[in-house]
Structure 1
Amino acid sequence: MLDDERSVDDKREYSAPRDPVGVVQSANETQVDFESQAYRELIGRSVLNKGNNVRLKRAIEKARKGEPVYVAYIGGSITQGAGAVPIHLQCYAYRSYEQFKNRYAPLDGSSINLIKAGVGGTPSELGIIRYDRDVLRDGQVQPDILIIEFAVNDADDETKGNCYESLVIKALAADNKPAVILLFSVFENDWNLQDRLAPIGWHYDLPMVSMKDALVEQFQKTPAEGNVITKEQFFHDIYHPTNMGHRIMADVLSHLFDVTDHSALDQVEQCDDQTPLIGSDFVNVKLLDRKNIEHIARIEVGAFQHTDTELQMAEMHDHDYGTPLFPHNWMYSREDTQERNRFTLHLNCKRLILIFKDSGSDEFGTANIRVDDEHIKQADPHQVNWTHCHAILLINENEVSEHKIEIEMAEGYEDKKFTILGFGYVD
């Protein structure tokens, strides 16, 4: 659906939600008139697709009845809250959750629950592996609404959208039939991967909102021509929003909720068993780490005996503190001089993703990776040069077979460290 083809419901005027009690507005938020017609039009432009509304309307009705509703967010650093201060209260995820709660839930809104699973510097290739653990909480939670935000993180996705679509399919197929919303954030240079990812949303008729559609054109205008917010006001740095930017992202989602709430109920619910547009090869991916490997695979850890505790941290949910990611890991250290240096994994699978630690420390070095006795890749922890989780695809086949994966330090790096955070496998 193109912009000029949106329905009357899509063009419903934005009504600014009340801010959660106790959240302090940043000074630059006073420079934008959030009640103006121009701001309403900016927010209205964000609706890329209203989508099939059955699931989202069902979640809103649950909220109104006071039934438990879980609103979940998964994505990269913007979903984690980068650029927002304080990160746990001013990030778009928390603010849109608060707006949803204030608008639709009765009484104190305690029936509305937040799941925030944004991790900086990570693509959907890692998000699909984290989904069971960080969103579903290993089967303890079923989100009623899921917002997926990887539009500025998937440039290096080796599967070119297959992991992204696999995540969409996995979420849509849940027994409780959650509403899945695609959120397309944008960088300061006006770039995102909307052209690659939005067709997946069209394919499944998902609600989609685009910061690119809302912002980029008006960035080029003067106030007299229709500029509402400048790049300097919206962006904290070249990647992440300011507090005001996060507010606008939250307002965009609230507008989608409002448009949906005031639209007639679609007569047929969206189909979640369509032929994939790009692929569904990673729908059933599972996390393999030190915690569960004994029940799944056979390993010889060699000198990868240590557990790395200096890990990437992320403020999950509404926490004001960071949670260490992938703590059940294997770290190589030359201290184990009596041990064989090589880490060997024997696993029945058809697809395998390695998760290793990127680091800015010169204590870490490059490792060689062999699959079935063939050298296939090197894993360089200084490729990005800051401490975070890096996913690379090792095996991508159509049939399950037994594979041997060997990881050892590359020549000249034997005195360095290397951390295997875990694996994502499909069997």
Structure 2
Amino acid sequence: MMTHKLFACAAAAVLLLGCMTGCSSDRQSSQDAIQNATDSTISGAYADIIERSLLSLGNTTRIRAAMDRAQNGNATIGFIGGSITEGMTAGGSDCYAACTYRYFQEHFAGNNQVQYVNAGLSGTSSVLGLLRAQKELFQYAPDVIFIEFAVNDAQDEEHRIAYESLVKSCLNQPQQPAVVLVFTMLKDGYSCQEQMTKIGEAYQLPMISVGDALNPEFQLGRMQWSEYSDDSSHPNKFGHQLVASMISNYLEKAAVQPPAEESLPQTPVYGDGYMGATLVDLSGVTSLGSFEPRSFSQLFDRGYAAKADGTAQPLSFTVTGKKLFLVYTAQNSADWGIAGVYVNDRLVSTVSANSKNGWGGPAVVLAYESDTPQEMHVQLSMLQEQESKQFQLLGVGIQ
């Protein structure tokens, strides 16, 4: 376990204050800032930026309980989200999740070790996050869960329901974890913060906004996007430290707040109809057809790829549930084709692996749903004139 001291807040203070004074030629490197910073450097405009990031302190009962468990030597801190949480650009040891973990370890666990679980996965939305949660997060019984999907979700009903279902599923875990919502943003300003904030308010959750913290600085010219990110979405190493500073600010404030009675909403904000959805084992395929078994990753280790040989015999399997989710590879390429989804011998939907937003990562679609659980005999087959194109089924989710 990593136990060295986290200087995220202090390092960010030195670098950001340098940005604001306009001394770009004399500015310390981020590495120098990390080595030389102390808590006393946090002041002035930098403190205002960090303060703006905290949209809501939320109910502090659960986070205080998690801090108490850490002091007693039994705590796990977990994260779930997209590529920002996974650590793209900064790397796994310097991403905001790892920085936050080290801060929590240092300040709230004493000499005890806190367990760290990072379930970030590039290019994934809260729909797939919900399906992944049991295997990648819940089985470790985290005491604190940070959720980050603001730039990966779409502003539509499906993602609003999936996000609320994920939030509620986290809150309903037996160990009653604290749940913290983190809202990141893209360079063009895109974020699902507005729809997600309504959920956070209803469930009295802490909420941290990168946009609320940084947008005023960008608008006034006191900071450039390039100082936060090297592309259009992912924080660079300093950007990750800055996000970690925003989270540590929340943790510091929550630690001195008295617990309060928790009151969760009786009715959902958008809907919780995806609760209980999870990935299922596809080892029981009854017919391979024109597909062949393939392992794509540790998570998707029992997938299937179309042979792309001009044949279109269906891949067949049976599952039971109300909703059928298919996880597949999405590519922006005409070499990738369209598959038909048949349930109990009826064509219920089609799935196109050729997407303008595809980049070779996992995508998910709700392929079929019914009002009541039923046994579903599922067949996946390339459509006519798609038989020589590629298609990869990574996994199947059932609710």
Which residue does 2:108 correspond to in 1? 104
Which residue of 265, 268, 282 corresponds with 1:276? 268
Shift of 1:363: 5.7
> Contact 2:9–2:241 (CA<8 Å) still a contact in 1?
no
Cα pair distance change 1:158/1:35, threshold 3 Å: same
C-alpha distance after superposition, 1:282-329 (max 9, x if no partner): 1111212324xx3xxx7433122x2234x3xxxxxxxxxxx6431111
Which shifted more, 157-166 or 143-152?
157-166
The amino acid across from 1:80 in the alignment is: E
Gaps of 5+ in 2: 1-6, 12-27
The amino acid across from 1:202 in the alignment is: E
C-alpha distance after superposition, 1:379-420 (max 9, x if no partner): 222313322111001123321233343211122221233221
| CA distance in structure 1 between the partners assigned to 2:353 and 2:29 by the alignment | 39
Which residue does 1:58 correspond to in 2? 65
* 1:130-145 pair list within 5 angstroms: 130-136=132-138, 139=139, 141-145=140-144
The amino acid across from 2:288 in the alignment is: V
C-alpha distance after superposition, 1:91-112 (max 9, x if no partner): 11001111111112223x4x21
Tell whether 2:277 aligns with 1:285.
Answer: yes
Tell whether 2:387 aligns with 1:414.
Answer: yes
The amino acid across from 1:52 in the alignment is: N
Which residue does 2:4 correspond to in 1? none
The number of equivalent residue pairs is: 371
| CA distance in structure 1 between the partners assigned to 2:31 and 2:109 by the alignment | 26
Q: Secondary structure at the match of 2:51?
A: helix
* 1:183-198 pair list within 5 angstroms: 183-198=182-197
The amino acid across from 2:329 in the alignment is: K
Shift of 1:83: 1.9
The amino acid across from 1:408 in the alignment is: S
Which residue does 1:129 correspond to in 2? 131
The amino acid across from 2:149 in the alignment is: F
The amino acid across from 1:179 in the alignment is: A
Which residue does 1:397 correspond to in 2? 370
Cα pair distance change 1:359/1:325, threshold 3 Å: farther
Which residue does 1:70 correspond to in 2? 76
Which residue does 1:149 correspond to in 2? 148
| CA distance in structure 2 between the partners assigned to 1:346 and 1:324 by the alignment | 23
Shift of 1:276: 1.4
> Contact 1:290–1:330 (CA<8 Å) still a contact in 2?
no
Which residue of 47, 51, 54 corresponds with 2:54? 47
Q: Secondary structure at the match of 1:83?
A: coil
Tell whether 2:147 aligns with 1:173.
Answer: no
| CA distance in structure 1 between the partners assigned to 2:336 and 2:370 by the alignment | 31
Tell whether 2:319 aligns with 1:347.
Answer: yes
Which residue does 1:6 correspond to in 2? none
Normalized per residue, the structure richer in helix is 2
| CA distance in structure 2 between the partners assigned to 1:215 and 1:331 by the alignment | 43
> Contact 2:325–2:396 (CA<8 Å) still a contact in 1?
yes
Which residue of 255, 263, 266 corresponds with 1:261? 255
Tell whether 2:328 aligns with 1:356.
Answer: yes
Cα pair distance change 1:334/1:46, threshold 3 Å: closer
Cα pair distance change 1:341/1:48, threshold 3 Å: same
The amino acid across from 1:125 in the alignment is: V
Cα pair distance change 1:353/1:16, threshold 3 Å: closer
Which residue does 1:241 correspond to in 2? 235
The amino acid across from 1:418 in the alignment is: F
> Contact 2:155–2:195 (CA<8 Å) still a contact in 1?
no
Shift of 1:373: 4.1
* 1:15-54 pair list within 5 angstroms: 17=9, 27-28=29-30, 35-54=42-61
Shift of 1:160: 3.5
| CA distance in structure 1 between the partners assigned to 2:230 and 2:29 by the alignment | 14
Shift of 1:334: 4.5
The amino acid across from 2:79 in the alignment is: Y
C-alpha distance after superposition, 1:39-96 (max 9, x if no partner): 111001111111000000111122223x121110000011011121xx1111110011
Query: % of aligned pairs identical?
Result: 29
Cα pair distance change 1:230/1:31, threshold 3 Å: farther
Normalized against structure 2, the TM-score is what? 0.86
| CA distance in structure 1 between the partners assigned to 2:194 and 2:10 by the alignment | 33
> Contact 1:28–1:233 (CA<8 Å) still a contact in 2?
no
> Contact 1:172–1:272 (CA<8 Å) still a contact in 2?
no
| CA distance in structure 1 between the partners assigned to 2:48 and 2:31 by the alignment | 18
Which residue does 1:300 correspond to in 2? 287
Shift of 1:369: 2.3
Which shifted more, 355-364 or 94-103?
355-364
C-alpha distance after superposition, 1:171-209 (max 9, x if no partner): 111111100011101111122011111111111101111
Gaps of 5+ in 1: 1-14, 20-25, 312-322
C-alpha distance after superposition, 1:238-264 (max 9, x if no partner): 111111110011111111100101222
Q: Secondary structure at the match of 1:58?
A: helix
| CA distance in structure 2 between the partners assigned to 1:332 and 1:368 by the alignment | 13
| CA distance in structure 2 between the partners assigned to 1:156 and 1:344 by the alignment | 33
Which shifted more, 252-261 or 357-366?
357-366
Cα pair distance change 1:302/1:158, threshold 3 Å: farther
| CA distance in structure 1 between the partners assigned to 2:155 and 2:328 by the alignment | 15
Which residue does 1:333 correspond to in 2? 307
| CA distance in structure 1 between the partners assigned to 2:388 and 2:191 by the alignment | 40
| CA distance in structure 1 between the partners assigned to 2:174 and 2:318 by the alignment | 33
| CA distance in structure 1 between the partners assigned to 2:231 and 2:313 by the alignment | 42
| CA distance in structure 2 between the partners assigned to 1:192 and 1:353 by the alignment | 24
Normalized against structure 1, the TM-score is what? 0.80
| CA distance in structure 1 between the partners assigned to 2:146 and 2:253 by the alignment | 16
Tell whether 2:92 aligns with 1:83.
Answer: no
| CA distance in structure 1 between the partners assigned to 2:361 and 2:281 by the alignment | 17
| CA distance in structure 2 between the partners assigned to 1:79 and 1:52 by the alignment | 24
The amino acid across from 1:49 in the alignment is: S
Tell whether 2:209 aligns with 1:210.
Answer: yes
Shift of 1:27: 2.9
